[in-house]
Amino acid sequence: MDGQSFDEDTCRQRLQLGSVALSLALNPRQEALLLRFLAMLVKWNNAYNLTAVRDPLEMVGRHLLDSLVLLPHLTISSCLDMGTGPGLPGIPLAIMQPRTRFVLLDSNNKKIRFVRQAVMELGLENVEPVHARVERYRPDAPFQRLIARAFTALPKMLELTSELRGQETELLAMKGRVPREEINRISTECRCEIIRLQVPYQEGERCLVRIRQRERLPP
């Protein structure tokens, strides 16, 4: 299969096997929406270069399963996907958690146009695409979760999101190898937890860095 074609049956089989490996139970609607999103991504990618990954079968692991691995760490409330690009990990997560409100934020207008089209065609009523830079975005209230995939270094991420986080906000940053040097530069006001991730069909190290503000002691 080349990078220009989309074999739905082959991709479905890999998605199903990968979901089992992640202990996820996809219902028929979720599976269908994930594959429709993948088909859209392949089609648009041929014209607009949304992702460097060209092979649809590789996209199942690199994009769909690598997004779905975050599911156990989300809650049913509100979530901001920073630097979402073509809707990753936000759209796969929104498909799986329709009761969670997702804002998908990116400064690249071309990619946000794709996200808007995908949200419309997939009928995702819990997703709001926003074209803006993180440091200039001002929501009405803090988000419960901030998620980032290949966004920026952790200290910079905390700096850019200072106006988006409340006391109960958790920042979930997906990384490859454990970024020890970045973690060492994080303020002691933050509590940091490293969670090792295993993504089906993906080689190399993968981890999730969970960051939360430490509780302030009363004076």
Q: What is the pLDDT of residues 128-173, one digit of tens each?
A: 999 999 999 999 988 999 999 978 999 999 999 998 988 889 999 9
Q: List the 101-106 sheet strands across, edge first.
A: 127-131, 101-106, 78-82, 145-149, 170-175, 207-213, 190-196
- The radius of gyration of the chain from alpha carbons, rounded to an integer in Å, stands at 17
Confidence bin at 217 (pLDDT 50/70/90): very low
CA 198 to chain centroid, in Å, comes to 16
CA 18 to chain centroid, in Å, comes to 17
Cis peptide before 142 (omega within 30 of 0): no
The confidence score (pLDDT) of residue 2 equals 43
Give mean pLDDT, residues 119-130: 98
The span from the CA of 11 to the CA of 136, in Å, is 38
The span from the CA of 157 to the CA of 110, in Å, is 23
Confidence bin at 102 (pLDDT 50/70/90): very high
The confidence score (pLDDT) of residue 24 equals 96
Classify each residue of 45-79 as buried b or exposed e, where b means 16 or more C-beta atoms within 10 Å of its C-beta.
beeeebbebeebbebbbbbbbbbbbbeeebeeebb
How is the chain split into domains, by residue range?
A: 8-213
pLDDT at 21 over 70: yes
- Cα-Cα-Cα-Cα dihedral sign, residues 49, 120, 131, 73: negative
The confidence score (pLDDT) of residue 101 equals 96
pLDDT at 23 over 50: yes
The CATH number of 8-213 is: 3.40.50.150
Asked whether 104 and 54 are in contact (CB, 8 A), the reply is no
Q: What is the pLDDT of residues 40-62, one digit of tens each?
A: 999 999 899 899 999 999 999 99
The confidence score (pLDDT) of residue 1 equals 38
CA 36 to chain centroid, in Å, comes to 17
The confidence score (pLDDT) of residue 4 equals 55
pLDDT at 216 over 80: no
Identify the residue with better confidence: 91 or 2. 91
Q: What is the 3-state secondary structure (H, E, C) of the chain?
A: CCCCCCCHHHHHHHHHHHHHHCCCCCCHHHHHHHHHHHHHHHHHHHHHCCCCCCCHHHHHHHHHHHHHCCHHHCCCCEEEEECCCCCCCHHHHHHHCCCCEEEEEECCHHHHHHHHHHHHHHCCCCEEEEECCHHHCCCCCCCCEEEEECCCCHHHHHHHCCCCCCCCCEEEEEECCCCHHHHHCCCCCEEEEEEECCCCCCCCCCEEEEEEECCCCCC
The confidence score (pLDDT) of residue 219 equals 53
Q: What is the pLDDT of residues 57-94, one digit of tens each?
A: 999 999 999 999 999 999 778 999 999 999 999 999 99
Q: What is the pLDDT of residues 167-211, one digit of tens each?
A: 889 999 999 999 999 999 998 889 999 999 999 999 989 999 999
